[in-house]
Chain A
């Protein structure tokens, strides 16, 4: 991450076709970079600070919080400072069932996203393809959920999950996240599916393709960008959610990473080395994923925002 900032700072601010020595112009060109770099530092500093200090022991993280774990000192000539310690990580691994939490988060997120994409595509296909009484009404009904936060129904949700026998299981989370994700999925996918030319679908029908085949092997590949957008819109809210794991699945063995971290942090709030290590471990999957897919990720969000 810090590498990214340094690349950003070395980017020349002139553009090729404006080489004239015009100081006013140059300063004006520099202005966006000054603010963007300052804000980038503000955005990255906390994360970098926590990562750095998670690799020190308690004494050093309090004594020299701004010093990287491996650094140098010039006080008595050149000297390598080695503050590197993995004590915090060892404590987290011995105390918290962190891999269990990751497994739960992955299961809930993957299944919920799969259901949102599948059921969302199917419903959008029906709404965009078939004429029937109540078509617009169902579309409108599904859209209400975009604005109304489902957490206001938590008391009744708990009752419902108990009645279904899935309270305190991952399925409670999966169904709630699916229901919460469907409105935006149907909204986006219907828009995109309407743009698929009718002639193409009718040609496939003449060739004897079933409606299921038309949707799954024909329409869905065509609206891949829209599916990606739906995925991006729902992925992080599901992975990062705290409210529903806390209220619908608080038991130790079904905890997600977000809830697991919240409980761990509350319990070990005075154990700074373990706490910092736990924070870093919890952010690794998201940061790795985001760094690898940031382009697609932001493109997906931007595309959705245009709708």
Chain B
């Protein structure tokens, strides 16, 4: 409880540094970036002096993102990246989060020996940078080395190996990149589920056991309803993470997000447009427009969570 009446100079000394850094390096760039998406920015160099002119264009940039008459194909790329990002998100929701819940449940099973050793091991990939993990898997998936292909052949699944290689396959590349991400990040939802499961009152479970409930029943009827709020947090974190994801694809497939943009996400699209890429000049105005769209998508997700999902889950 805030009990003391503030003396202004203490308030300023304690609050100002954090508020200033936060406002200057987080709030301002976000707001300025939103503003810039309504402008067209032209950079011209004359006599060695670079001048930047900004013209207000209203919603033109957004119109171009949705229907691009030029050869830049922003509309087609945007739709493609949006679809891929949704697929990416679905794979994380369907694979990462259930696996994380399964591991957390197993780690909290009664009288499990070595739980802390397992926990340490399972979290290890999450501690490493995506550049390390991405390259490790790129090398392992490389048909030249064949480390993964050999395993598939040994267990008799050689026919599943795509002839263009896992990361070159138009149909599979996105799924493979997503699964590498799942493999790396499963530790985070696992820890969230773990702390939720550890927070459940043990007496509740003991009482159910005494009444003859099977572990299966205990999980679905007691534990699962109690950890639903955590499942909601995991879902919204997965959503925010995926709709700003960039690193996995950039490391494994490059900023061109090959093959043929099949692994392009909103994050890589944003990067390519903002900083330019092979055969394409950087366009900061369109870059900020894409960022604004990502912002709106993330905001929608967070609002749905805060006002729809969270309230319902917490009330139950």
Contact = CB atoms under 8 A, between A and B. Distances in A.
Interface of A: 1, 4-5, 7-8, 11-13, 15, 28-29, 32-33, 35-36, 39-40, 42-44, 46-47, 49-50, 61-62, 65-66, 115, 119-120, 122-123, 125-132, 135, 138, 141-142, 144-145, 147-157, 159-160, 175-176, 178-180, 182-183, 186, 194, 198, 211, 215, 236, 239-243, 247, 257-259, 261-262, 265, 272, 275-276, 279, 282-283, 286-287, 290-291, 294-295, 298, 301-303, 305-306
11 contacts: A36-B103, A44-B124, A46-B133, A123-B19, A148-B295, A149-B298, A152-B244, A157-B29, A160-B28, A287-B128, A301-B195
Contacts of B24: 160, 175, 179
Interface of B: 1-6, 10-11, 13-15, 17-19, 21-22, 24-30, 32-33, 36, 102-103, 106-107, 109, 111-114, 116-125, 127-133, 135-137, 139-140, 144-147, 183, 191-192, 194-196, 198-199, 215, 230, 236, 240, 244, 246-247, 250-251, 270, 274-275, 284, 287-288, 291-292, 294-295, 298-299, 302
A294 B135 contact: no
A272 to B, nearest CB: 7
Contact of A39 (B3, B113, B122): B122
Given A43-B125, A198-B3, A305 B18 contact: no
Contacts of A120: 18
A279 B135 contact: yes
3 smallest CB-CB distances across A and B, nearest first, come from A153-B29, A240-B129, A179-B25
Contact of A290 (B15, B127, B192, B284): B127
A242 B14 contact: no
A131 B124 contact: no
Nearest to B117: A8
A155 B282 CA distance: 11
A44 B121 contact: yes
B114 A142 contact: no
A291 B124 CA distance: 9
B291 A183 contact: no
Contacts of A149: 240, 244, 298
Given A32-B106, A276-B139, 17 more contacts: A49-B147, A65-B146, A130-B4, A148-B30, A149-B240, A149-B298, A153-B30, A154-B274, A160-B24, A160-B32, A215-B14, A242-B131, A282-B132, A287-B127, A290-B124, A305-B192, A305-B196
A4 B195 contact: no
Contacts of B215: 28
A145 B298 CA distance: 12
Given A43-B121, A132-B6, A265 B111 contact: no
Contacts of A35: 102-103, 106
B137 A8 contact: no
Nearest to A123: B18
Given A11-B114, A50-B136, A150 B124 contact: no
B26 A180 contact: yes
Nearest to A260: B131
Contacts of B287: 155
Contact of B2 (A129, A157, A178, A182): A129
A282 B131 contact: yes
Given A131-B2, A150-B26, A156-B36, A243 B246 contact: yes
Given A150-B26, A153-B32, A243 B291 contact: no
A272 B30 contact: no
Contacts of A138: 15, 19
Contacts of B246: 151, 243
A219 B3 CA distance: 15
B195 A302 contact: yes
A120 B21 CA distance: 11
Contacts of A176: 25
A139 to B, nearest CB: 10
B136 A7 contact: no
Contacts of A298: 116, 119-120, 123, 191
A301 B191 contact: yes
Contacts of A198: 1, 3
Contacts of A42: 183
Contacts of A7: 114, 117
A138 B5 CA distance: 16
A94 B147 CA distance: 28
A11 B112 CA distance: 10
